Structure 1
Amino acid sequence: MTAHVALKTKSVEKVWGKDILPAPFLAPEGQRIGEIWFEPAPPCADLLAKYLFTSEKLSVQVHPSDAQAPEGLSGKEECWLVLDADPGATLAIGFRQPLGPDAIRAAALDGSIEQLLEWHPAKRGDFFYLPAGTVHAIGPGLSLVEIQQNSDITYRLFDYGRPRQLHLDAAIAVAQGARHPADLRRTIDMTRSAQLVSGSHFRLDLLAGPPDQTMLARFGGPVLVMPLSGEVTVADECIAAGECAAITALASAGFSSQGLTLIAQSLR
């Protein structure tokens, strides 16, 4: 197996996307790009990494767990790291008060679900982990990284009147009408290394500079490397900020002394 696989990028148009993207990305003329995907590939095919750029609110939505997903597909647990945020930008995660399935359905149908969600102020360095079943939405004015299980199953509950399909029955069947646990969100120092996720599906760290021996030991085996600044070098090839690669071993890579890199590993 080669030491690394540079992942192909995929620009995804979204009604809520942006026509002007932060460097190093460019939106094609006349297109509103909402997501930049790094198409999964071995040895890290179970993980999907992407950037999100928002100019409008995303739909109110929810994702199933592995047990709830259609046969042969995985569920979707995900996390967000905010890279940039306009003043007043917010994210909705979970409900302000517990709701049962009938109340969630009624609120989705009359549009009041938006007001029942708990909207969190967002700024650079804010980190959120979303277990499957968490009802959520993302507001405008945000640039963030999303690391998730490699699944594209999304059930929309409410979409602000946009002419897109809703999935009420499927969404109600998997939605948790609960508050988002406070220990699944925090603000991190974007100049220092930090452990972000150590869950049942994947682990994720923010790495400032090169890894120490503790990190090398924790991330034995294949990993995704996603430079946010600086660059990562594998087998004399450079992986720059705005790119992502799957590598066979963290120890095989060289890291910029002042770089900032996300390191992700599937645990499945």
Structure 2
Amino acid sequence: MTRNKLYSGTSNYVASAELQEIVYVAITLERPLLVRGEPGTGKTLLATSIAESLALPIITWFIKSTSKAQEGLYTYDTVQRLNDSRFGDGDIRDIRRYIKLGPLGRAFQNEKQTVVLIDEIDKADLEFPNDLLNELDVMEFEILETGDLIKAKQRPIVIITSNAEKELPDAFLRRCIFHYITFPTAELMSKIIAVHHPKVSEKLIAQCLNKFYWLREQTEISKLPSTSELIDWIAALVKGGVDLKVIETEFPFLGTLLKKENDFLQIKKTNRPSWHKKSS
């Protein structure tokens, strides 16, 4: 279905046709792209891939529970100004010395179009997305302390990731293009693995995929293994020199895939013939 040639993934990031299409739509309509999906499906790496593909700089804003929207625009270092006034360091009358642009502010000032990643937006409080509505719409803001207007020289490409930890406001969602990255099929996963492990035999990859997807089917597991954990598991198997026959009936280095004690113990108790049957 992909008709555009604007973005088609990169050598180290395999993008589905559907993902390529939605990136094209977001860039063409000049709307932020809100991306959701399971951990490990490549949400964060998407922005890096877009920047690499289009040869654009990237600025990343990692959101924390204490993050405020204002910090993405600029901060005013009142503490430094107070210290300078006390110790006589510098001209405190020049307020601009104490203004520091945030990720969006720097992207607005950049002469070249910039990719801005707002990573895990739902970690912040509920007002955070709404506080960015106007700036993401008009692509400008005023520094209140100086009256300076910071206007985007090139409209940035904004990628926003969310782990669906909380609902985002409707007003914010209306201004975004949305995409849910579904967990890769075995076929797509094999292409992803080939990027990271190009020299690993097809038989080993096929066996690992069988075991991996069997593991994800187990309803008693509370934290399903992700793509990154599969890639690490294959690396561990290769470096450990584990024989293919062992992988058929065992789960070597299971702690690479499962990160919770109950999940680990549950799979360890599973009878081995069922593993062999599922993966054969």
The TM-score with structure 2 as length reference comes to 0.25
Mark the structure with the bigger radius of gyration: 2
More strand by share: 1
More helix by share: 2
